[in-house]
Amino acid sequence: MQLKDKHNKTKSIREKLALATCALLQTAGSTAQAGDEWEIDSALMIYSENDSRVTAIEPIVSARKEMGEDKFFGVKLVLDALTGATPNGAHASGTAQTFTRPSGNGSYTVAAGENPLDDTFHDTRVALSADWEQPILDDMSRIIVGGNLSKEFDYRSLGVSATFLRDFNNRNTTFSAALGVNADTISPVGDVPTPFANMMVAGSGTNRDKASESKTITDLMFGVTQVIDRKTLMQFNLGLSSSSGYMNDPYKVLTVVDATGTRLAPVGNDLPYVYENRPDSRSRQTFYWKTVHHLNEDVINLAYRYHTDDWDINSHTIDLNYRYELNGGAYLQPHIRYYTQSAAEFFTHNILDTQVGVAQYASADYRLGELTTTTIGLKYALPFKGNQELSMRAESIVQSYSKVDSAVGTLAGDAGSQDIVPDLGAFVIQVGYSFYW
């Protein structure tokens, strides 16, 4: 049986894809030509991690058309196919480790010194979204309403959104306010695990509570876009987000260790790994600033984002694009992105045996730990007659993690000098084609 992973696991991969290709496909706010023509943007992206980890292939197509005077309709389709190996949350060990698959009917073994990866990770996703934009009240205001549907093997997401935009100051200032609501259903392979329950030997049971769980996400965004002068545009956004419901990753476990950091031995059918547990709510705040400045010919785009939440995760992102104009309308666009975050207050590389049943929350998901990510890339775009453009982009991503364990300090005993969370390297290649049809 091939394992289908949870949306939270694949989400981080798709976020890396999106960050490496941001601004390529944007249905809202495009400048489609009036008349019967559709503005089509398409792309094929390939994302691949080192050490035979996750590989993703993602085709995207979006279309936008003016349906009447200042009225626009947009639609976007995304397909994902992911395969490879992904961390299960346990840490490396000086001896081989055997894990039970989520179904409870099979197992896999990780060699001594190896980071525990489930090498049967497979997932597919189909996501469809659409939006409608039109003036409201007068010609200085407009509204965009939209909806989205995303379906995976074990995850379904339904969402609606509305954005209001108002121009002031001879259209040099635009105020925006947006609201989005998503309702998600999680139906993991083998059902939903009991928090902090032991993983059990294959065929002996699964420690599962129910077949599915749900969560809701509400997002608010307030923004101001300001024309500074003929060559400079600046944007400020404040984002507020509230999530409630099932926030765990049902496929993530923690290694149970004693005070010396030594992994416990199995007891009966109970293996020395327990399922994680996170708070059932999360409140986030983000501040985003972007400046676009047109030089004599080239364009520089600099953005900064600050994020904080009640899980104690604080992050900073700096994103720089420089568009260097070539002859004939072609251009090169180098890209540099630097991201850093602090760890969630309940993040730990393992859990002490004395804390099992006592701790309220704990997770060894590396995405919740202290980490930094550096992305360096280059895009080349070549225009053709008829408003066509062919583009190619290559990105290199390096992600490194803190090796300090919040539970027992630097890991000793069982893991010895093993790398608790190995650094991750990945690359993204994309080919895009835009045209009118």
Q: pLDDT per residue over 376-435, tens digit each?
A: 999 999 999 888 999 999 999 999 987 654 443 334 445 444 456 678 999 999 999 999
What is the reported pLDDT for 35?
A: 56
Q: Is 15 exposed, middle or buried (0-12, 13-18, 19+ CB in 10 A)?
A: exposed
Amino acid occupying residue 124: T
Give the count of domains, the chain: 1
Give me the chain's average pLDDT, please: 88
What's the pLDDT score for residue 84? 87
Confidence of residue 104 (pLDDT cuts 50, 70, 90): confident
Percent of the chain scoring above 90 in pLDDT: 72
Domain encompassing residue 51: 3-436
Where b means 16+ CB within 10 Å and e means fewer, 119-138 reads ebbebebebebbbebeeeee
Strands 351-352 and 253-257, sheet pairing: parallel
**Can you give the pLDDT at residue 192?**
96
Tell me the whole-structure pTM to 2 decimals. 0.87
pLDDT in tens, 199-252: 999 999 889 889 999 999 999 999 999 999 999 999 999 999 999 999 999 999
Residue 4: pLDDT band with limits 50, 70, 90? very low
How many whole angstroms from its chain centre is CA 239?
17
What CATH number is associated with residue 306?
A: 2.40.160.40
CA distance 148 to 127: 7
Residues 338-354 have pLDDT tens digits of 999 999 999 998 999 99
- Of 101-110, 140-149, 365-374, the poorest mean pLDDT is in 101-110
